[in-house]
């Protein structure tokens, strides 16, 4: 569900913006990088699923997984309890199939 788009703005001191421009980062590139970093952060903090974070970053899932790798963020990041539950589920499935 794509839905409506919500726009928001951020402010930068002019001297910082001019420095970024001199480095080749203009408004659209800054907006894109901001979306990418926000998506990575929200995924890492478990605020967004992989699919929703990819949408926020305006990437497909594979592209977003590449972005996660660039930032050393694991695609699968289970807690010990979640991992134990996954292994228990696999064991139950294995027993059911025997």
Q: Where are the chain's structural domains?
A: 14-97
C-alpha to C-alpha distance for 53 and 72, rounded to whole angstroms: 16
> What does each of the 98 residues of the chain score in pLDDT, given as a tens digit?
567 989 888 899 999 999 999 999 999 999 999 999 999 999 999 999 999 999 999 999 999 999 999 999 999 887 888 888 888 999 999 999 88
pTM of the model: 0.77
The pLDDT score that the predictor gives to residue 23 is 94
> Which residue stretches of the chain are H helix?
14-22, 27-44, 50-57, 61-70, 80-97
């Amino acid at each position: 569900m794509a839905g409506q788009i919500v726009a928001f703005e951020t402010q930068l001191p002019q001297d910082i913006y001019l420095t970024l421009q001199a480095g080749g980062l203009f408004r659209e590139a800054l907006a894109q990088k901001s979306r990418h970093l926000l998506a990575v952060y929200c995924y890492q903090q478990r605020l967004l699923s992989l699919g929703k974070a990819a949408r926020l970053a305006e990437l497909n899932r594979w592209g977003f997984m590449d972005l996660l790798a660039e930032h050393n963020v694991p695609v699968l990041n289970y807690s010990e309890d979640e991992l134990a539950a996954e292994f228990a589920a696999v064991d139950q499935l294995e027993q059911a199939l025997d």
